[in-house]
Amino acid sequence: MDSIDLTGLEIYDMDGICKIQLDGQYSIDALTSKIITEWIQLCECQADCGRSDYCKFACGEDEEIRCGIVSTALENFVKATFNIFSELPFDSKQKYLDGTFYLAKYIFETEVKLGIIIYDGFMKFYGRYAPIAFTSLINQREILNNIGNNFKFLPELNIGKGILFVEGKTELTFLSEMRKSNLNWFINLLIKSYDGKDNARPRRIEMLIKDHKDFGYKVYIQGDGDGKNHNIFQELINKNLVDPQNTFAFPFDFESAIRDDVFFKALIENDIPINVSFEEYEKRVSSSPFGQDKESVRDFISREYEIDIEDYKIPLAKSVAKHYGNVNLAWWHDNDFMNTVFGRFLKFIINIPR
């Protein structure tokens, strides 16, 4: 398509406060020229940018240009997405334009801030305030959230990064420790705990999910069934806050899903005094309600050995992560294991987009 009618749509002004009305037909070049002019201020590279000594777009002394890095990025972005933009409904076109503004803002401010922290002259100029120049990079997070919030409506521009909400510190500890395995499934996994047992009220979980969906994240959630025979996430599913396939519930809890030999090894590693051999432990498991999937391992350990494992949950999780973090096990190739509850949990994690 050579041009599209943008009448009725708006773009932000340079400060991102007011909106500028668009009217008539815009080609790729016309739209690019318009947003570059409205969004990128004129500057003297040598005086205003700490990266001018090696930037290929830098102008000479006493010259002014609109930042070549941001301008080129916008040119390439509009060129790569113009066909997508042209097919969008009206409201989505507005989201595209708003998201593009924040994309330009992010590129420009990041360039400026990086230039400041690598140029001695700026550091000397700021004096005792210089440390703030480094932490000011944190402010870019809000701009990124605005990019995600607008582009989430556009499938072609939404990378769909997943975030996993886990019920408590045990699961959070296990998955955090699994990063040490250097398995790619865990290294870049974004995890947050909603503290299910004590603090999680339905409204709190809903608010967490809504906040992250607003930023363009694809939400995944894990919980404990505690022996209940119903879908603990059904209410969230009914409210379209999470997709059914993006939920995982242990029948009882995390610890009860761990294979007997791995859990026993974790008990021994953490000096939990059960004082029996694995053979004896396995014999008691097989003859107990726990062995028939009718109670939790905590109830089993409490009844058989008079030990409450609640205080040991974090070190146990670390030991289990150490076991499955051994890449030589190649547990992902073990079909029998992957069909167990714990195997299905790890498969659920593997399928979360990074």
pLDDT at 246 over 70: yes
**Is a pLDDT exceeding 70 seen at residue 199?**
no
How far is the C-alpha of 341 from the C-alpha of 249, rounded, in Å? 9
Q: Please state, rounded to an integer, the average pLDDT across all residues of the chain.
A: 92
Q: What's the confidence (pLDDT) of residue 270?
A: 96
Does 346 lie in the same domain as 267?
Answer: yes
Same-domain pairing of 144 and 205: no
Tell me, yes or no, whether 76 and 217 share the same domain. no
DSSP state string for 279-316: HHHHHHHHTSTGGGTSS-HHHHHHHHH---GGGGHHHH
Give the global pTM: 0.76
Please give the share of the chain, as a percent, with pLDDT higher than 90.
Answer: 71
Lowest mean pLDDT among 21-30, 143-152, 310-319, 345-354: 143-152
> For the chain, what percent of residues have pLDDT higher than 70?
97
Q: Which two tokens stand for residue 110?
A: 């990041």
Tens digits of residue pLDDT in 135-168? 988 989 999 989 988 988 787 776 678 999 999 9
Domain C-terminal end among 103, 134, 151: 151
Q: Are residues 182 and 317 in the same domain?
A: yes
Beta bridge partners of 212: none
Q: Where are the alpha helices (DSSP H) in the chain?
A: 28-39, 45-48, 68-87, 90-118, 120-126, 130-135, 140-151, 169-178, 184-187, 202-214, 234-238, 260-269, 278-286, 297-305, 313-324, 335-338, 341-350
Residue 264 has pLDDT above 90, yes or no: yes
Query: 85 and 176 share a domain?
Result: no
Tell me the C-alpha distance between 201 and 204, whole Å: 5
pLDDT for 227: 87
Confidence of residue 303 (pLDDT cuts 50, 70, 90): very high
One domain, residues 127 and 200: no
Total domain count, the chain: 2
39 in the same domain as 17: yes
Instruction: Let me know whether 178 and 145 are in one domain.
Output: no
Q: Which pLDDT band holds residue 197 (cuts at 50, 70, 90)?
A: low
Burial level of 31, CB count in 10 A (0-12/13-18/19+)? buried
Using pLDDT thresholds of 50, 70 and 90, give the confidence band for residue 196. Answer: low
Window from 144-153, 156-165, 251-260, 274-283 with minimum mean pLDDT:
156-165
Q: How far apart are CA 216 and CA 145, in angstroms?
A: 8
Band (323; pLDDT cuts 50, 70, 90): very high
Q: Could you say which of 151, 176, 200 is where a domain stops? A: 151
Residue numbers of the domain that contains 141: 3-151
pLDDT in tens, 26-69: 999 999 999 999 999 999 998 888 888 889 999 988 889 999 99
Q: Say if residue 192 is in the same domain as residue 324.
A: yes
Same structural domain for residues 188 and 96? no
Contacts of 145 (CB under 8 A, 6+ apart): 215
- Answer with the one of 83, 116, 151 that is the final residue of a domain: 151
Band (pLDDT 50/70/90 cuts) for residue 221 is: very high
Mean pLDDT of 91-96: 94
The answer to whether the Cα torsion of 129, 132, 134, 139 is positive or negative is negative
Q: Does residue 248 surpass a pLDDT of 80?
A: yes
Same domain, 172 and 300: yes
Average pLDDT over residues 244-268: 96
For residue 233, the one-letter residue type is: F
Q: Are residues 132 and 94 in the same domain?
A: yes
Q: Which residue has the higher pLDDT, 354 or 250?
A: 250
